[in-house]
Amino acid sequence: MQVVQWDKTTQKKISRLKEVEFDELLFKKVHKILQEVRTHGDAALRRFTKEFDRIDIPLKKLRVSEGEINKAYEKVEGYDFVPLIKEFQSNAKQFYEKDIKKSYSVKGCDGAKLSKCYSPLERVGIYVPGGQAPLISTVLMTALPAKIAGVKDLVLVTPPQRDTEDINPQILVVANLLGIKEIYRCGGAQAIAALAFGTRTIKKVDKIVGPGNSYVTEAKRQVYGYVDIDMVAGPSEICILADASADPNFVTCDLLAQTEHIGGSGFLVTNSKKLAEQIRKRVEPGYIIMVSSLEEGCEVVNEMAPEHLEIITKSPNIYLKKIKHAGTVFIGPYSPTVIGDYIAGPSHVLPTAGTARFFSPLSSSSFIKSFQVIHYTKDALNKGREFVKVLTDIEGLILHKISMEARFVDTKKK
């Protein structure tokens, strides 16, 4: 790892590393895919699946059947997913039920009543990336918060395996155990387009969640507004704030774990020269940022706004109080990032590339929307009458004023 002192030059360098550059060519390619699927629906979806995944899937096989799900159980006999699901579900439920917002009302003068009501989204699309390893944890971390929030319909899309044209049986089993009834064998930007705009086979969703490659990420960015999305996430990252008390083996392993993710990066922020020298020799990629004190280290962390932050110091809770920007914070030597990736309960779908300054982790509240209710009596309306008159006159919206005044016209005199 490269050792640097924290100063303005380093700050600019780290900021540039975390910036997401605009790729004009990628933008145009994805835009074309989205437009084709929006215009031609299933036909375009199948055409792009054949072009990118090299699989010609008949329309009737686009959706995974119950029979295929039943066969998937036979293929994963060596894995008992039920205890895993139950344990994670228990952890997630305990955590997320407190996150669900409750409707409320406030009373104003003369009988006016103002309310805010919360309700879950009806239909959510979950994208699970393809590849060699089945990302079961992605299914867990996206579906369970949505289910706890009360989402009625969960739709899962994932690229089929090129050799068998099937979806990984472990993903099918876990999805089925979580109650996901709609599963489609399609991936890439074309799958995002199908979820966002709908086709004859795949009904439009309200929100799309889940990680993916650059095409998927760009597609999510472009369909935002037609549907909601969780966030525009980049490569995984970890930052460790540590002092001389930190076990160098723990720090080494946690930094190296991120290199298993494509493009994953690691940062060590420390005031210990000894620890820095030990880690420098053991870990090649990433940066070690030297600070004069852990208080300054907290300032560095807040500037970086990392996806994962581990605090491995003598008194970690003291420094937790100084952290303002991070996706998830892991406290102490026995809270490695990996526990958050799999079983702790909170979702591992987190803001990256410094976006933790304004994005929050995926949670049950991510699947809940609100609407407002305004109930005025005639007396309450009359009290706000003069204010509305003044503002409608200033803005020149005469019909707005008439809409108000119509309630006070005495029609009986006519």
Q: Summarize pLDDT for 340-349 with one digit per residue, the tens.
A: 999 899 999 9
Residue 54: which of 63, 42, 46 has the closest Cα? 46
Instruction: With residue 154 as reference, give the H or E element that holds it.
Output: strand 153-158
In which band, very low, low, confident or very high, does the pLDDT at 411 lie, cut at 50, 70 and 90?
A: low
**Same domain, residue pair 101 and 221:** yes
Whether 129 and 138 have beta carbons less than 8 Å apart is answered as: yes
Residue % of the chain over a pLDDT of 90: 76
Question: Does the active-site annotation cover 19?
Answer: no
What's the pLDDT score for residue 215? 95
Identify the residue with better confidence: 130 or 403. 403
Residue 87 confidence (pLDDT): 87
214 and 239, same domain (yes or no): no
What's the mean pLDDT in 192-204? Answer: 97
The answer to whether position 332 is within a domain reads yes
Claim to verify: residue 45 and residue 159 sit in the same structural domain: yes
Q: Stretch 158-178: mean pLDDT, rounded? A: 90
Q: Using an 8 Å Cβ cutoff, are 197 and 37 in contact?
A: yes
Which residue, 229, 253, 278, sits at the end of a domain?
Answer: 229
pLDDT of the residue at 365: 94
Return the higher-pLDDT residue of 2 and 308: 308
Q: What percent of the chain has pLDDT over 70?
A: 98
Beta bridge partners of 78: none
123, two tokens: 């239909």
What is the pLDDT confidence band of residue 315, given thresholds at 50, 70 and 90?
A: very high
Claim to verify: residue 51 and residue 129 sit in the same structural domain: yes
Say which residues have a Cβ less than 8 Å from residue 301's Cβ, sequence separation at least 6.
239, 241, 269, 309, 323, 325, 326
| Range scoring the smallest mean pLDDT among 14-18, 44-48, 192-196, 370-374 | 14-18
Q: Which single residue is written with the structure tokens 């089925």? A: 176
How far apart are the C-alpha atoms of 224 and 331, rounded to whole Å?
34
Tell me what the mean pLDDT of segment 30-56 comes to: 95
- Distance between CA 261 and CA 158 in Å, rounded? 19
- pLDDT score of 414 more than 60: no
Does some domain include residue 314?
Answer: yes
pLDDT(412) > 70: no
In a domain, 379, yes or no: no
- pLDDT at residue 362, rounded to an integer: 95
Q: Are residues 53 and 137 in the same domain?
A: yes
pTM: 0.91
Among 54-68, 78-92, 388-402, the range scoring the smallest mean pLDDT is 78-92
- Looking at 169-284, list the stretches that DSSP marks H as alpha helix, in order from N- to C-terminal side: 169-177, 188-197, 214-223, 248-257, 273-282
At how many degrees (to 10) do helices 42-53 and 188-197 cross?
160
Handedness of CA 143, 49, 213, 36 (dihedral sign): negative
Consecutive H or E run containing 395? helix 385-395
Check whether residue 45 and residue 184 sit in a common domain: yes
Q: 170 and 114: one domain? A: yes
Residue 121, burial from CB neighbour count under 10 angstroms (0-12, 13-18, 19+):
buried
* pLDDT at 35 (0 to 100): 98
Distance linking the first and last C-alpha atoms of the chain: 87
Q: In terms of domains, do 195 and 57 share one?
A: yes
Q: Is the pLDDT of residue 233 over 90?
A: no
- Run of H or E residues at 88: helix 81-96
Are residues 247 and 182 located together in one domain of the fold?
Answer: no
Domain of residue 123 covers 41-229
Which member of 218, 237, 308, 310 is catalytic? 308
**The pLDDT value given to residue 86:** 87
Segment 324-341, tens digit of pLDDT? 999 999 999 999 999 999
Give a yes or no: residue 374 inside a domain: no
Q: Are 59 and 186 members of one domain?
A: yes
Report whether 255 contacts 283 (CB < 8 A): yes
Note whether 214 and 352 are same-domain residues.
no
Express each pLDDT in 267-285 by its tens digit.
Answer: 999 999 999 999 999 999 8
Q: Answer with the residue of higher pLDDT: 131 or 22.
A: 22
Q: Is the pLDDT of residue 142 over 60?
A: yes
Say how many domains are in the chain. 3
Residues 156 and 126 sit within 8 Å (Cβ to Cβ): yes
Domain boundary among 205, 229, 253: 229
Going by C-alpha positions, the residue among 156, 122, 119, 152 that lies closest to residue 141 is 156
Question: Is 40 noted as a catalytic residue in this protein?
Answer: no
| DSSP 8-state code for residue 63 | B
Q: What is the pLDDT of residue 46?
A: 95
Residue 36, in any domain of the structure: no
Q: Determine the pLDDT at residue 31.
A: 98
In a domain, 160, yes or no: yes
Predicted local confidence at residue 105, as pLDDT: 95
pLDDT score of 41 more than 80: yes
Residue 7 has pLDDT above 90, yes or no: no
Same domain flag for 334 and 205: no
Query: Of 196, 229, 262, which residue constitutes the final position of a domain?
Result: 229
User: What are the pLDDT digits (tens) for 348-406?
Assistant: 999 998 999 999 999 999 999 999 999 999 999 999 999 999 999 999 999 999 999 99
Over the chain, what is the mean pLDDT? 92
β partners of residue 118 = 370
What is the distance between the alpha carbons of residues 180 and 259, in angstroms, rounded to a whole number? 31
Catalytically annotated residue among 218, 307, 310, 348: 307
